[in-house]
Amino acid sequence: MGKSSKDKRDAYYRLAKEQGWRARSAFKLLQLDEEFDLFNNVSRVVDLCAAPGSWSQVLSRVLIKGEKFGRAAWQDREARFRQQMLSVLPEEFSAGQKSKLDEDLLQQEKELKPRKDVKIVSIDLQPISPLAGITTLRADITHPATVPLLLSALDPDYDAHKDATNSNQTSHPVDLVISDGAPDVTGLHDLDIYVQSQLLFAALNLALCVLKPGGKFVAKIFRGRNVDVLYAQLKIFFEKVVVAKPRSSRASSVEAFIVCINFRPPPGFRASLEEPLGVGERLNRMVVERERQKPIIAEVLMQDPQAPATWSAAPVPPTGPAGDEVTEIEVYDQTEDTTRDCNQDIRWIAPFVACGDLSAFDSDASYQLPEDYVSLDPVQPPIAPPYKRAIQMRAAISGGPQR
């Protein structure tokens, strides 16, 4: 299969090379940002499973260089245009003025707005070719030793020898943790989904150690059986949990991204290496605790008995003085919580959104290329791909060159 055949079948692969991204994954992050405004108010970021580094490139261009892409760029241009129109509108709008306006807009667009105090740490098992302003670490995110490594990369004053129960938190917490982790897919679906879930588990545990309250977490998931249990667990830590499918992610793939907004750990929660995520007894206690916080105090309303019930109310003992007219009820939205069963198995179905501009390329379609089209080389070939040794061994056997 020729290079240009792949360029035809995968518009994002081709675009990545044309636009200087190290991988087509860059478009997934850009499309997620278009939908969720991920980079708004963000200056400290951890990029997990980051090689070859296209997500880190996006971070570098948006946060360090101050470039704008997608909707942010469009909104900015519109706002400036409106501003300029307001100041010139009373006058007659001559051709000269119009081209001056266009020039001004272009000039302003080129002005970059780098953010202050940006800190980006990127981690992968594979080496990541250096990116200006980004700290890269070669480490396994599932290994416990990676947590202190990350904490010291984020915070030079971090002391790994302090009391273990207090030290798994950095004093300069981060605003956003992103993880595009994927194992080498075997094709054995259940195994792939299991390994992927372990990566997600490790990514979330790292996120819990470094995120600041209000922070965001975005991670790749494979939508397998029981994935809703995962959503429910994430809901313990974040106010909003959404599953998103960017247009640049093939519709035929089980891949999606979980976008978690507003980190709000349960009271008393402390990230711990010994009990990641509060697994075991602590997780159950946290679920109960979170549920206890849910009740909404509301006056009992007269309900139309014919109306379809979307809200359920479970009375709980009144807390006010005897004779209070207000009755306390526990309210939960049945449209959100469809799976409350008699085992008290708390499940929650996350909303699913497709994101990316509708005019964007369809990642499952093939596109005709011009006849004089020249296929470009990838921007950053892998430095030490896992298949390198196999190539060397095969070359050694056949006596060919070892690359």
Ligand X SMILES: C[S@@+](CC[C@H](N)C(=O)[O-])C[C@H]1O[C@@H](n2cnc3c(N)ncnc32)[C@H](O)[C@@H]1O
124 is in an annotated binding site: yes
Does 141 engage in binding with ligand X (CB under 6 A)? Answer: yes
Among 11, 13, 25, 255, binds ligand X (CB under 6 A): 25
Minimal distance in Å, beta carbon 52 to ligand X? 5
Among 125, 283, 353, 376, binds ligand X (CB under 6 A): 125
Does 385 engage in binding with ligand X (CB under 6 A)? Answer: no
Minimal distance in Å, beta carbon 203 to ligand X? 9
Q: How many residues bind ligand X (CB under 6 A)?
A: 23
Does 204 engage in binding with ligand X (CB under 6 A)? Answer: no
Judged by CB, which is closer to ligand X: 53, or 278?
Answer: 53
Is residue 17 flagged as an active site residue? no
Judged by CB, which is closer to ligand X: 53, or 215?
Answer: 53
55 is in an annotated binding site: yes
Judged by CB, which is closer to ligand X: 181, or 278?
Answer: 181
Q: Mapped to the 3 state alphabet, what secondary structure does the chain carry?
A: CCHHHHHHHCHHHHHHHHHCCCCCHHHHHHHHHHHHCCCCCCCEEEEECCCCCHHHHHHHHHHHCCCCCHHHHHHHHHHHHHHHHHHHCCCCCCHHHHHHHHHHHHHHHHCCCCCCCCEEEEEECCCCCCCCCEEEEECCCCCCCHHHHHHHHHCCCCCCCCCHHHHCCCCCCEEEEEECCCCCCCCCHHHHHHHHHHHHHHHHHHHHHHEEEEEEEEEEEECCCCHHHHHHHHHHHEEEEEEEEECCCCCCCCEEEEEEEEECCCCCCCCCCCCHHHCCHHHHHHHHHHHHHCCCCCCCCCCCCCCCCCEEEEECCCCCCCCCCCCCEEEEECCCCCCCCCCCCCCCCCCEEEECCCCCCCCCCCCCCCCCCCCCCCCCCCCCCCCHHHHHHHHHHHCCCCC
Rounded to the nearest angstrom, the gap between the alpha carbon of residue 340 and the centroid of all alpha carbons in its chain is: 28
Does 22 engage in binding with ligand X (CB under 6 A)? Answer: yes
Which residue among the candidates 17, 220, 235, 245 is catalytic per the annotation? 220
Among 78, 140, 190, 324, binds ligand X (CB under 6 A): 140
Among 4, 84, 108, 126, binds ligand X (CB under 6 A): 126
Does 72 engage in binding with ligand X (CB under 6 A)? Answer: no
The span of 65-73, 75-83, 137-145, 343-351 binding ligand X (CB under 6 A) equals: 137-145
The span of 33-41, 180-188, 228-236, 329-337 binding ligand X (CB under 6 A) equals: 180-188
Judged by CB, which is closer to ligand X: 129, or 169?
Answer: 129
21 is in an annotated binding site: no
Judged by CB, which is closer to ligand X: 35, or 180?
Answer: 180
Judged by CB, which is closer to ligand X: 54, or 233?
Answer: 54
Minimal distance in Å, beta carbon 199 to ligand X? 6
Instruction: Decide: residue 165, CB within 10 A, 0-12 exposed, 13-18 middle, 19+ buried.
Output: exposed
> Which residues contribute to the site for ligand X (CB under 6 A)?
22-23, 25-26, 49-55, 123-126, 140-142, 180-183, 199
Known binding residues for S-adenosyl-L-methionine are 53, 55, 124, 140, 180
Catalytic residue positions, numbered: 220
